[in-house]
Structures are given as structure tokens and as C-alpha cells.
Structure 1
Amino acid sequence: MSRIFVVEDDIAIRDELCELLENSGYEVCQPEGFEDIAAQAIKAGADLVLLDINLPSANGQTVLKEIRKSSDMAVIMVTSRAGETDEMLSMSMGADDYITKPYNPMILLLRISAVLKRTQSGGMARASYHGLAVNTARGSIGEGSSEIMLTKNEMIIFSRLLASQGQIVTRDELMTALWDSEEYINDNALTVNISRLRQKLSEAGIEKALETRKKQGYMLL
């Protein structure tokens, strides 16, 4: 049974959400207050965090940043504000998905299921790229002091590109790999993740590893 850590300050919404999740077979836990939320989420051993951006004593994006310092647990950001700025910022900080209130309960459950499926599947445990070890389960490239950590989404993209190294992988193929269904694609989020992946590969000492083919897709060299 997957454990979901629900961070929502609106009591009515939180209670309704917890009931929905419990009735759907998830174990649900909540923070005790809104201080040190990142530490509470990690201590709870959650498989996924539903994290509201607008909290009484903290910004959800700041909490996400703190979580990512020590954990790659799945995080879905939730906000009542429409617009792309929050979404792009959240995804650039390592969120696995993003949803805007008011949301359809069934759509939320599908997104949770998709994220958990991606993050809990071991996939190809180890591979190599340009002489560097690739650990898809851990989400890392290289080892020891040279190890570069990727977010879950970055590793999904990298793994798909690595499996087709030297061949063009279309944006649609990458978005399908990320969200399992084209109905839930967000093009901006893919662009942000590609940019961050390219930067991390550069940090790993692999310059110009990711080639963009306009109107076609991407190729890992």
C-alpha cells in the first residue's frame, strides 16, 4: 500500500482529499503543523507528497526545494492559482507533476497512479553512458564525488533517450513516457526538464550530449 503525505491547510479540502485517497486504497498521513514540513514528509516515509503551494507559514516551492536536498520521493504540487509561472518553477525544482484546483478527483487519482508507477518501477537498474555509470533506480549518473543526481522525470527522459541513443526521440514520445497518456501532457514542463537534464550532463563532463532537432525531437549523442 502506497503512503501519501497530504500537505493542505484548508481543513475541508484536506478531509475530503484524505477520504478520497483512503477509499482508493492509499495510506494517508498529514503533517503535525506547518513547520519543518520537508523533514516531516521524509520522516513519514511517504511514497508521494501532495504539496499545496500556498501554506500559512511556508511556500510549497520552498518546501519542495528542501525535500529535494535529501530525498527523491515523488511530489505533486497543488495550487489554486492558474498560470504557467508556478508550474514551470515547481517542475524546475524537481516536482513530478502539478495540478490546479479545483481538480477532478478522478484526474487527480490518475495522476497519482501515473507518478507512483513511474517512481516505483525499478526499470533498467544500471547502464553506462560515455564511461559513466547510470543507475536508473537511484537516479544518478557517475559515482562517488562525480555523481550527478537526476529527478525522476529527468531520469525517465534520459533513459528513453539512452535506449534510442543516436536516434531521434520525438517530444510526443517523451511526454508519453513521462505521463503515460497524452491527455495529461504539459509541453512547458518537458522543455524545463530537458533544459535541466542538458545542464546536468554538462556538469557530469559530457558537453553537447543532448541535441535538439527542431520540429522533430531530441537525440542523445
Structure 2
Amino acid sequence: MSQAAMAIHKENPNVLVLISGLNFDTELQFLKRKPLNINIGNKLVYETHLYSWTGIGTLKLKDIWIKQPLNRICALSIRGLDSSAGFLTMGENAAPLIFTEFGFDQTGVSIQDNRFLTCLQTYLAGRDMDWGLWAFQGGYYVRGGDVHVDETFGVLNSDWNHLRYPNFTDKFQLLQMKIQDPTSKAGNANIMYYPLSGQCTKVNQKNELELGTCEKNHHNR
């Protein structure tokens, strides 16, 4: 892995070098025992994948999201996620980590996926991480020998003309913003984020708290 990273960097020192994990790119904890120890400047980036059924840390069952209290499972999941991948963003040799693939059933019928997504949103927003969502397409012309197969994880519906998940725009609004900017000279600010809806709290003209767009709540911190 180290040799491959160095070979890519030598060929083109301007590109980012992404390091993937094991077990469908869900486990990077082996790097605790044997770190890469390579010097390619700020071009080293790690990536990981995550779904409700892949588990986080020692939590491997999808049904655990409905069998135990969400706050408890989310806290344990975040702890496991830091153990398997998030640790790479901490310490003296911290490096960027991108969630290059995660997804959920965008029909909204999976309680497990809905709860998993809410927990993951909290993690991504809190760390201001970049991410990639599976998938955009509403379906497939041919898949597995079948014709016109629906993709329930797709952003678009099966006709490719509307969002499959009605709350998609609000749900992901804060995750598409730059929340933390290390080059900013602005003062710190806190954001009260409600991941279930994707909205942020704000004070209205009556000096009351209410949920709304995160745009005006967007501050560097």
C-alpha cells in the first residue's frame, strides 16, 4: 500500500492519493498497528464506506437500529466509527477522511436506514467531512438480467424526473456547506442542528427559537 501511494505521488505529485480500507472499505484500524509512514505532503487522504447493515465497530446487525434506543446505539456507533476510521483525523499525523460511499433506502420505508442516516448526519456535520452518496440514478436499464430495475437508494425516482426522498434538499443542506475553515479569521460560532429534518435553529423576530434553513446559521468555527 505504501509503495503504491508513493508510486502515484511520484508519477503526479499534484493529485490526491486515496487510501481505502479492508472489508468493503469499512475497516482502517489495521493502520493503528502498522501506519503507512509515508511523506507525500498534504496529498494523503483516507476513504471509508458505510451502510446500516455493514455495522460500525462491533455493531454488525442492521436490526440493532430498531431494537435499542437510538441515542444509545448512535453513541456506540460513533465510538466504533472513530475506532475503525475516524482516528485517522486525530493526533500529530492527522489526515483527511472522506466518506466516499454511504446510502440509505430513499423510499423512506426503512426505519433502520432512517435512524442510521440521522446518526451519520450528526457525525458528518460535527466533523465537517466530505462525502459521496450512493446513488444518483433512479434505476437501471438492465441489472442482473432484469429490465428496468428500480434503485431504491437512488436520489431520483424510477422515472428520473423527481427526487425520490421528498425531504432530500433540507436533509442534506448543512452537509453540503463548509462548516469549519482552518484559514478563516472569523470568530467561533455554534450551530444548533436538528438532523432528523436537516434544519437548524434560529431566532425569529419574536425572539423565539424555530427550525429553518441552515444558510443564515452558517458560520466558520
Shared fold, TM over 0.5: no
TM-score between the two structures when normalised by the length of structure 1:
0.32
| Bigger radius of gyration among the two | 2
